[in-house]
Amino acid sequence: MLAVPTIVNKTLHETEEKNSIIEFNGVTKKYGQAIAVDNISFSIKEGEFLSLLGPSGCGKTTTLRMIGGFELPSHGSIKIDGKEAGKLPPNHRPVNTVFQNYALFPHLSIYDNIAFGLKQKKISKEQIKNDTNEMIEIMGLQQHIDKYPRQLSGGQQQRVALARALINKPRVLLLDEPLGALDLKLRKKMQFELKKLHEQFKITFIYVTHDQEEALMMSDRIAVMNQGKIEQIDTPQRIYNNPSTLFVSDFIGETNVIDVELLQDQDKKEVLKEFPELKIENKKLVIRPEHLTVSKNRLQSNRIYLEAKMKKIHFVGSKRVIEFTSGSQEIIVNLPDEEILDQFSENIYLSAKSSLVRIL
């Protein structure tokens, strides 16, 4: 099961009363006849951590680039801090961007890379020195200030890129898959560091990723994109537990999508009893693997029961992933490793609380 930290609720609550800093109104972006972003409207609150999540080609990076001013909408409008962004160039927007490849200056030292933005503002040398040293300390880069980017690891280069962006104190920080080039262990570590930086600087983070677990772990809200549209925008908990479309339920975590018409008659009656709105036969039940339990009999009311046969058991660390068949459908169940299944015969029941079953 993907982890969704409870801290997300607190952070979202803190941002709910704040004003919107970014507003999309009917925004479409075309490249020739191809539609990259298709008539999207949404807002981002000041100080929140919003992730744009979706598969490759869904429009998330194009959406980010339009906020940064690197792309302009074909139709619709984007407001930043209540003002029409129009054709404002990137350097006239209160926005900084961190790219996946870091885009550090190879000929400049780490110190000069971080101080670069301040030097462009022509502020005093003393202020540049103080601000740069403070940012270097925050990022833990004190031992690397005289080195060059090629002499640093991927994680250290990422810290330099973040420091260079944050030192300019932007209202909005755009992050375009900034952890994509890191190995898994370092990526996990940097996720926590990014969340800590967000809480420390209290600025708006807009984060592009195709990694669902990354988005669930870090975000206050997630906008799930598909084919240029936003399928759902909500908190990680609601995205995971209450997906509004089949695409969201399938893309976020593991899920079982069960066709109602293929259920056996007895099971169908039980389903209709719990969900009387299921009168149209082409509806589907969506159940997460960890929400299913295994039993020999129908033991409780207010549950959906499916008769099934065990097919295969996979050991995956702290859990077992079990394949079942129910009629012509395959169903996956996640159980703690210590739970013993040997006692069950071939014909058993899978069940889930009605409250944990979605109808789509």
Sheet of 172-176: strand order equals 95-98, 172-176, 204-209, 49-53, 221-226, 229-234
Do 260 and 352 share a domain, yes or no? yes
Do 74 and 90 share a domain, yes or no? yes
Domain harbouring 350, CATH code: 2.40.50.140
Tell me, yes or no, whether 55 lies in a domain. Answer: yes
Residue 12 clears pLDDT 80, i.e. is over it: no
Q: Could you report the per-residue pLDDT of 35-78, keeping only the tens digit for each?
A: 999 999 999 999 999 999 999 999 999 999 999 999 999 999 99
Q: What is the mean pLDDT of residues 323-333?
A: 88
| pTM for the whole structure | 0.84
One-letter identity of residue 307: E
Q: Could you report the per-residue pLDDT of 294-312, keeping only the tens digit for each?
A: 888 777 777 878 888 888 8
Do 234 and 288 share a domain, yes or no? no
Domain end position, chosen among 231, 251, 271: 251
Do 273 and 290 share a domain, yes or no? yes
Four-point Cα dihedral 164, 165, 167, 169, nearest 10: 170
Do 244 and 266 share a domain, yes or no? no
Domain end position, chosen among 235, 251, 267: 251
Domain end position, chosen among 223, 251, 279: 251
Do 200 and 333 share a domain, yes or no? no
Kindly tell me the burial class for residue 38, based on how many C-beta atoms sit within 10 Å of its own C-beta (0-12, 13-18, 19 or more): middle
**Which pLDDT value is given to residue 328?**
82
Q: Could you report the per-residue pLDDT of 243-285, keeping only the tens digit for each?
A: 999 999 999 988 998 887 655 555 666 666 666 555 556 678 8
Domain harbouring 31, CATH code: 3.40.50.300
Do 191 and 287 share a domain, yes or no? no
**Which pLDDT value is given to residue 281?**
60
Structural domains counted in the chain = 2
Give the residue numbers spanning the domain of 30.
Answer: 7-94+170-251
Residue 143 clears pLDDT 60, i.e. is over it: yes
Do 88 and 223 share a domain, yes or no? yes
Q: Which residue has the higher pLDDT, 140 or 10?
A: 140
Q: Torsions phi, psi of 195, nearest 5?
A: -65, -40
Q: Could you report the per-residue pLDDT of 185-234, keeping only the tens digit for each?
A: 888 888 998 999 999 999 999 999 999 999 999 999 999 999 999 999 99
On average, the pLDDT of the chain sits at 85
**Which pLDDT value is given to residue 150?**
92
- The band of 354, judged by pLDDT with boundaries at 50, 70 and 90, is confident
Do 75 and 224 share a domain, yes or no? yes
Q: Could you report the per-residue pLDDT of 160-178, keeping only the tens digit for each?
A: 999 999 998 899 999 998 8
Measured in Å, how far apart are the chain's first and last C-alpha atoms?
21
One-letter identity of residue 138: I
Tell me, yes or no, whether 153 lies in a domain. Answer: no
